[in-house]
Amino acid sequence: MLKGLLENKSCRECRICCGFDKTDIWEMPVMNSDTAKELSRLRPDTEFTEKDGAFIVKAGRLEGDELFFCPALDKEKGCILGDKKPFDCSIWPYRIMDLNGTWVISICPVCGELYNRPLRELVEFVENGLGEKIYKYALENPDIVKKYDHSYPILKVLGEENTDNCLKRTIN
Ligand code: SF4
Ligand code: SF4
């Protein structure tokens, strides 16, 4: 989804966004049932929390600086889900968030590779199609909309025509 903006090579040498600590465990990807089934087939020990047809891997309680790595991460090959990678991951580090009832597209500061790019470049990518794809997917899958976190710079506020349709559901 971020072809032309983010190189596979940068991600191969990083993988930061596939590991979570207790401060960002809320960023675990939301999976649809196809993806959750595929992950269960590949990693049968994986446990999920399910809500309205959306699945999130259970990480358990994390202590101190403990890191939980997504079970779909293979340290050599990267994500083993291939085409079934969660939408959430295919747009990362872009996020769609709910700011007091208005949906916004923001960027996660954890991804140094994109966070340090000129703002104009990041916004242009949203305007050139990504924003619309995210918005359409979120309308059908509102569980991917996260509650707004003030550390995430906002790149686009979805217009009034969009907010009228906001379903105002968030995952905490
Ligand atoms: S944090 Fe950014 S560069 Fe690193 S793996 Fe994730 S998307 Fe790629
Ligand atoms: S599903 Fe794949 S890309 Fe997403 S966090 Fe897990 S390993 Fe990373």
* Ligand 2 mean position, distance from CA 14 (Å): 13
Domain range for residue 105? Answer: 8-163
User: Quick check: is 13 in a domain?
Assistant: yes
Please tell me the total count of domains within the chain. 1
81 lines ligand 2 (CB under 6 A): yes
Cβ(89) to ligand 2 under 6 A? yes
- The number of residues in the chain equals 172
Q: Which ligand is nearest to the CA of 85?
A: 2
Q: Is residue 31 in a domain? A: yes
Q: Say what the pTM is.
A: 0.90
Q: Ligand 1 centroid vs 9 CA: distance in angstroms?
A: 10
Structural domain includes residue 172 = no
Ligand 2 centre distance from Cα of residue 143 (Å): 17
Question: Does 2 map to a domain?
Answer: no
pLDDT tens track of the chain, all 172 residues?
999 999 988 898 899 999 999 999 999 999 999 999 999 999 999 999 998 889 999 999 999 999 999 999 998 889 999 999 999 999 999 999 999 999 999 999 999 999 999 999 999 999 999 999 999 999 999 999 999 999 999 999 996 555 555 544 444 4
